[in-house]
Amino acid sequence: MTARGAAAAITIASLAVALAGCDDSRSGGGRLSKDGYIGRASDICAASKAEASQIAAPSLADPIAVEQAVAQAVAIQRRAFRKLRELEPPARDEPAVEQWLESVGGAVKQMAAVRRGLAAGDRRAITAATEKGAAFTSDAEDFADAYGIEECSTSNETQ
């Protein structure tokens, strides 16, 4: 794997982790108001970012370390996605939130595909999953920004 491919995989991992989140003990419990949904989703994403920041940055020259770091990110993403799906958005916003969650789920699936590509040393699989993951991530971040779930987006962090 090239350093460029590994760097792209890690970039997609960090974007997807920012979207996903990890721990929210307040999840569930019925339909939320828009502000309540934003607050809980933001809490999940903030916790995710904190957990992801604990993943040691691997040497790009060590493909096993890169694959392990991506595996950790995928585990965080899967837990977070499950927690986000447990939240009940306002009824009028449910279709848009479902589309957002489809994008988040797509990003998680593509990050898992990147991990499998890394494990197999399959550059084409890594590139394809990275490109697909970037598209899902972009769609998810657009929604998060527009809906007000700023913690679930990285677009403001790069400015």
Give the separation between CA 18 and CA 47, rounded to whole angstroms: 9
Domain extent, residue 79, equals 3-18+32-152
Give the separation between CA 78 and CA 146, rounded to whole angstroms: 24
Residue 93 counted as domain residue = yes
List b or e across 118-129, with b for residues whose CB sees 16 or more CB atoms inside 10 angstroms: beeeeeebbbeb
Residue 26 counted as domain residue = no
Q: Which of 29, 22, 146, 17 is nearest to 73 (CA)?
A: 17
Residue 99 counted as domain residue = yes
Residue 25 counted as domain residue = no
Residue 96 counted as domain residue = yes
Give the model's pLDDT for residue 13.
58
Are 10 and 66 in contact by the 8 Å Cβ rule? The answer is: yes
Helices (H), the chain: 3-20, 34-52, 63-86, 94-120, 123-147
Q: Which of 59-63, 128-132, 136-140 has the lowest mean pLDDT?
A: 59-63
Residue 24 counted as domain residue = no
Give the separation between CA 153 and CA 8, rounded to whole angstroms: 18
Give the separation between CA 26 and CA 87, rounded to whole angstroms: 9
| Residues 53-71 pLDDT 10s | 999 999 989 999 999 999 9
Average pLDDT value for residue range 10-24: 51
Residue 157 counted as domain residue = no
Residue 54 counted as domain residue = yes
Residue 88 pairs in a beta bridge with: 31
How many folded domains does the chain comprise?
1
155 pLDDT tier (thresholds 50, 70, 90): confident
